[in-house]
Amino acid sequence: MRQRYPETTVGALIFNNEGKIFLMKSHKWKGKYVIPGGHIELGETIEEALKREIKEETGLKIRDIEFIHLQEFIFGKAFWKKRHFIFLDYACKTTSKKVKLNSEGQGYVWTTVEKALKLPVEPYTKRAIEAYTRKKS
């Protein structure tokens, strides 16, 4: 099916009790590290969508949700399909210990913000991390 409108999505930098962020590898982003997230369903609030997507993709429950920024992705080559997305990026916390990836993730890491920027992260995740860093400084 051909996309007719941009797809609004949510994603989050998830911080654990040690202040490390969660990144997962995704085949949809050519095996690079990404933040978990996905589309907003009709009738769902942005926060509900974020909590649902994070739970579905990682098994983690999140709290203390804070908006970081908005990004546009228009038919970029970084994604496996030709798509137009509007990304709403957030930061949040989790106290969950057990990660349970669904088929979206092919591995994960908990790392510092500084080390995350040195990993093979896809460009939009990198921008989200950099925006978070600017906002917190």
Quick: pLDDT tens for 109-126: 999 999 999 999 999 999
> For the segment 16-71, what is each residue's pLDDT rounded down to a tens digit?
999 999 999 998 878 899 999 999 999 999 999 999 999 999 999 999 999 999 99
Going 31 to 34 to 36 to 37, the CA torsion angle's sign is negative
Please tell me the total count of domains within the chain.
1
Residue 99's pLDDT is what? 96
CATH number at residue 120: 3.90.79.10
Q: What is the pTM of this model?
A: 0.92
Q: What is the DSSP string of 69-108?
A: EEEEEES-TTSSS--EEEEEEEEEE---------TT-S-E
Domain, as residue range, for 41: 7-136
* 2 assigned to some structural domain: no
- Does residue 75 lie in a domain region? yes
